[in-house]
C-alpha cells in the first residue's frame, strides 16, 4: 500500500512541476514572461490553474496518507526497541570489551609505559 501511494505521490509531484512550468509568468517574476503562446486567452490560464489546484490537492492528500502510514508502522516502537538495548545479546554475538581495557594506562599503574632495556 505504501509503495502505491508513494508512486502516485511522485507522479503527482512531477506533474505539478510540469504544470507550474507551463504557466505564463503574469508578474514577470522570472524576467521574461510570455513568448509564443500555443494556448492563448483566459480559458487556457483557467484550465492550467484548475489543473494546478487539482494536482496540488492530490499531492497534499498523498503526503498526509504517507505520514499516516509511516506513523502506523512505527506506533508503539522506539529506537531503543529496535536496538535491543534492554535485551541480552543473542548467542554468538561477541562481547564488547570493557571500557577500562581501552584506556591507556595511567601513571599510578604498576606496569611500565615503556619496556626497560634490561
- What does the pLDDT profile of the chain (118 residues) look like in tens digits? 889 999 999 999 999 999 999 887 765 544 455 555 555 556 666 888 899 999 999 999 999 999 999 888 877 776 666 666 555 556 666 777 777 667 776 766 565 556 666 5
61 falls within a domain:
yes
105 falls within a domain:
no
Question: What pLDDT shows up at residue 108?
Answer: 64
Question: What pLDDT shows up at residue 4?
Answer: 94
Q: Identify the three-state secondary structure at position 27.
A: coil
Q: Which domain holds residue 58?
A: 1-23+46-72
Q: Which residue matches cell numbers 529506537?
A: 79
- DSSP letter, residue 90: P
- This prediction has a pTM of 0.53
- 62 CB neighbour count, 10 Å cutoff: 20
67 falls within a domain:
yes
16 falls within a domain:
yes
30 falls within a domain:
no
- Rounded CA-CA distance 57/49 in Å is 12
CA-wise closest residue to 58 among 21, 7, 24, 23: 7
Q: How many domains does the chain have?
A: 1
Question: What pLDDT shows up at residue 29?
Answer: 46
103 falls within a domain:
no
Amino acid at each position: 500500500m505504501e509503495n502505491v501511494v508513494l508512486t502516485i505521490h511522485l507522479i503527482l509531484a512531477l506533474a505539478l512541476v510540469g504544470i507550474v512550468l507551463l504557466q505564463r509568468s503574469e508578474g514577470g517574476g522570472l524576467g521574461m514572461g510570455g513568448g509564443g503562446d500555443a494556448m492563448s486567452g483566459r480559458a487556457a490560464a483557467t484550465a492550467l490553474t484548475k489543473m494546478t489546484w487539482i494536482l496540488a490537492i492530490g499531492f497534499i492528500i498523498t503526503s498526509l496518507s504517507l505520514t499516516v502510514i509511516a506513523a502506523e508502522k512505527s506506533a508503539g516502537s522506539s529506537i531503543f526497541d529496535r536496538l535491543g538495548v534492554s535485551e541480552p545479546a543473542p548467542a554468538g554475538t561477541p562481547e564488547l570489551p570493557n571500557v577500562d581495557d581501552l584506556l591507556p594506562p595511567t601513571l599510578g599503574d604498576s606496569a611500565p609505559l615503556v619496556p626497560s632495556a634490561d
